[in-house]
Amino acid sequence: MAAAPVWSVDPRTGKQREQVAVEATAQEVDTAVRAARAARGALADRAVRSAFLRSAAAGLDAARDALVETADAETALGPVRLTGELARTGYQLRAFADIVDEGAFLDVVIDHPDDTATPPVPDLRRHKVPLGVVAVYSASNFPFAFSVAGGDTASALAAGCPVVVKAHPDHPALSELVAKVLRRAAAGHGIPEGVIGLVHGFEAGIELIRHPSVAAAGFTGSVRGGRALFDAAAARPVPIPFHGELGSLNPVLVTEAAAAERGETIGAGLAGSMTLGVGQFCVKPGLVLVPSGAGGDQLVKALTDAVSDTEAGVLLDHRMRDNFVAGVRERAELAEVDSPVTPGAGGEHTVSAGVLTVPAEKLAEEGAHDLLLEECFGPVTVVARYAEEAEAAAVLSRLPGNLTASVQLSSEEAAGQGRGAEILAELTPLAGRVVVNAWPTGVAVAPAQHHGGPYPATTSTSTSVGGTAIERWLRPVAYQNAPAALLPAELRDENPLGLPRRFNGVLER
């Protein structure tokens, strides 16, 4: 049977643009993984790794116009958004190059023998080493930052792990172009091009997670798809780490005092956040708890007015469009759910943004309204009106894990008067990032960033954004009583590589 073709499709029209590739066979997946495994040794030198990452970023910058044009044709996300995302991707690659140069990620610890300890301590030296080949599953909604050259790939390469990427079907042509840029950068430093593998097709993704030479995987996508891969990773004869980002409702709590103080401002800000990128951000606020009363009414009116003025937009593909239209229709048909602005089909290829409102008491207990507590991918948010704080707390207590949880406080509450600190403590178990008086859309690439959360937001406690994302692709190894002449350079007393380390209990910089 001939391999199925892989087409690039224009989501603005639903028409095929060009055939980009064919779906990879099991043999082709095996070839890609073997080539990646063979490239491991070329990544052993940290100086080579960091130079490779910087060259990859420079290559993306040089190819910006062609990359953005192709990305826009396949995703309809627009040149402005895509240019910014590409710049973020290059910044991320350079940031990991800096981390590689510094070397603190190796977590070097050296303890000399101590016979006076109980029990006695032998000579122990520990650092971290790469896991091996990493499988990366691209996301649809971030064709640069969470795709072929995105955070999973950048952090894996920084750790010294080759990568095989399963391309997302929504941007196959872009995936091929980005892979070529990365391979050219690799070749410029004597690294085999197989260090970046790329395969297309659903079955190829299954073969990839099952391949015995794949040591770990990173995924960004749906709960259904991510859970299937997570289960496959765990069911292998040798299970492997699976770092998956699956789904998030990203709840927002607006206090009564905040609504009274600036309800209109909050409503307008919410509209901008939930419609950003046509509602296709993984941190889109999908559930907002708003108090009853005049302040809440002003908030909902401002939200309604702003969303009403939002133009219809194109989702990443027609399957997502169909799911959105069906999903909002099913939610709007529930009892006591109102639609101040009706979400749904905006045209043959577009969707219109909307708002659904419901009494919070309907969500406080298990029942037919539980559908409103599930993520709906696209430009819609659910506003739950609560009459008292206990109702809002009851709704929050029923939520699964999230990437973010946000609160809008009044100026007095933010200054420490009232329940501000208590609310933060209540939100902390729900999410990996707690946002105060801001909106969750926008994930800064910074050392202190955490992009993850309790299941189903992610399948692990690690972050996929920021410097500590590198930790997912490393494992610690300790050497006991190893002769100095046999030790890796990283673990020698004289510290020839000048690494940050903890030496006999003292942190050395």
Residues whose CB falls within 8 Å of the CB of residue 189, separated by 6 or more in sequence, listed in order: 48, 51, 52, 55
* Catalytic annotation present for 376: no
For tokens 């610890």, what's the residue?
109
How far apart CA 217 and CA 233 sit, in angstroms, is: 8
Our measurement of the distance from residue 5's CA atom to the centroid of its chain's CA atoms, rounded to an integer in Å, reads: 28
Q: Which of 282, 375, 376, 426 is catalytic?
A: 282
Reported as type and span, the H/E element at residue 386 is: strand 380-386
Residue 275 token pair: 């419609």
Residues whose CB falls within 8 Å of the CB of residue 316, separated by 6 or more in sequence, listed in order: 11, 75, 76, 77, 140, 141, 170, 280
Angle, helices 64-75 vs 46-62, to 10°: value is 70
* Catalytic annotation present for 389: no
> Are 82 and 178 contacting, i.e. CB atoms less than 8 angstroms apart?
no
Residues whose CB falls within 8 Å of the CB of residue 400, separated by 6 or more in sequence, listed in order: 249, 373, 454, 455, 456, 457
Cα torsion 225, 461, 315, 372 to 10°: value is 90
Residue 431 token pair: 């999410």
Which one-letter DSSP state was computed for residue 231? H
Question: β-pairing, 242-245 with 214-220?
Answer: parallel
Backbone dihedral region of 160: left (phi > 0), alpha (psi from -120 to 50 degrees) or beta? Answer: left
> Are 245 and 458 contacting, i.e. CB atoms less than 8 angstroms apart?
yes
Residues whose CB falls within 8 Å of the CB of residue 417, separated by 6 or more in sequence, listed in order: none
Collapsing DSSP to helix, strand or coil, 71 comes out as: helix
Residues whose CB falls within 8 Å of the CB of residue 109, separated by 6 or more in sequence, listed in order: 124, 125, 126, 127, 501, 502
CA distances to 110, 115, 116, 478, 482 from 120, rounded to whole Å, are 15, 5, 6, 17, 17
Residues whose CB falls within 8 Å of the CB of residue 319, separated by 6 or more in sequence, listed in order: none
Residue 282 token pair: 């993984």
Collapsing DSSP to helix, strand or coil, 381 comes out as: strand
How far apart CA 286 and CA 378 sit, in angstroms, is: 9
Q: Which of 245, 413, 426, 490 is catalytic?
A: 245
Residue 337 φ/ψ, nearest 5 degrees: -95, 125
How far apart CA 320 and CA 314 sit, in angstroms, is: 10
- Which of the residues are catalytic? 245, 282
